[in-house]
Structure 1
Amino acid sequence: MPDENEAAKVALVSGGSRGIGAAVVLRLARDGWDVGFCYRADEDAALRIEKEATELGVRVLAVRADVADAGQAKAWVTRTEDELGPLGAVVANAGVTRDRALALMSDDDWHQVVGTGLDGVFHTCRAAVFPMLKRRTGCVVTLSSVAGIHGNAGQTNYSAAKAGVIGFTKALAKEVGAHGIRANVVAPGLIDTDMTGALPDRERDRLLGVVALRRFGTAAEVADLVAFLVSQRASYITGSVLEVHGGIAL
């Protein structure tokens, strides 16, 4: 079971049907958290994760919601609290990529990525943090990326969104710390998900050449850090950006 108090065993995870989000759902379920997660389109994947997490002995609620839409995000948060109970942790993970050189980037490429990856964090956290303030307890983990710290060619939209997540979370940590709420950022590097799995072999080999550990990370390794941050073991950590990148920045 998590190390939080009895009123704080419900976690919210956006983008929980695949990749890092799915790994977070399953990791928190193993730690005894009831989990409400959202997904945008892939119902089959969401139902598989919901079933797998439920089999770990916790309550799980999968809801179709696009966090880029403020109304949908708020409705999802409200339904999760109504059905599972007061939130103890929020993991804002949902994100998409539309990689393209800036000169070729369309308005839609920009708005899709920023809408999900940054606006979605704002919509989710605004809806979830307000009741936490009343209870004076809770924690928030947002998912950024090394692209948000160092930038990445062909990803001006994604890098901007992920840099915004860092600024948002640091400001939030300052804003809510006195109310007993912590907020931290996890910034993964090259993680073996369906996004990186689509890369050509030559590009994967090139990227591995700049990673000190000479391998891609796993979604489970990122989820382990998230699980730590939402636990009492991280009770004095807030406003921090923790990178999980195997030494890519060295």
Structure 2
Amino acid sequence: MPRQFFVGGNFKMNGVQESITNIVNNLNSAKLDSNTEVVISPPAVYLALTRSLADPKIGVAAQNVYDKPNGAFTGEISVEHLRDTKVDWAVIGHSERRVILKECDDFIARKVKAAIEGGLSVIFCVGETLEEREANKTIEVVTRQLNAAAKELSKEQWAKVVIAYEPVWAIGTGKVATTEQAQEVHAAIRKWLGEAISPQAKEDVRIIYGGSVSEKNCRELAKQPDVDGFLVGGASLKPAFVDIINARI
């Protein structure tokens, strides 16, 4: 079976009740590719609103989740909170949390495990900085990030993971990895899945690209054999997000 195309929209720390309502209503009324899985990720305070408004076919993701089930962890969100709000996805390991908030590989891996064991699916982000890219360490860095998760997850649990390759130097900068650069890293990740996890994971786990994806570049990227979709940042706040969802039509 071919892997189902996947497009996630990460709103980051953007939007208010009115604008998010407008975004969701626009998606509900648009003609979206029925062969593409769509998941949107609003700020935490609007998760319940988004889930109540969005068509059931559209998934809703938190932008973070903690690795403990409950307790004295001020400001954090648990898997139970998300499940209770009918949220079924979490974005974990985004470079902004790795770089700005100093989350390490092991902590991120524990959060992935907690999310999956609690019943969520995970968009697991990996990627290198510009300095690491220029030092030819891209595959080394991405493999290190993946290996941390592999230590925590069973082979079967990878069925609940979508891997998002996001070169840090291309996020919010307007710079985009060329189709060749994206495909090269995606192919390396798929090779890693086969060697480190299982032949089944190599075939089934979706690997999506993030990093200044827009309606202008999405169609060419979507043609690459190991690019199974996108994680979209700023463009997910705009009507053109529909064009990215429909990149393969």
What is the TM-score when the length of structure 1 is the normalising length?
Answer: 0.39
Higher percent of residues as helix: 1
What is the TM-score when the length of structure 2 is the normalising length?
Answer: 0.39
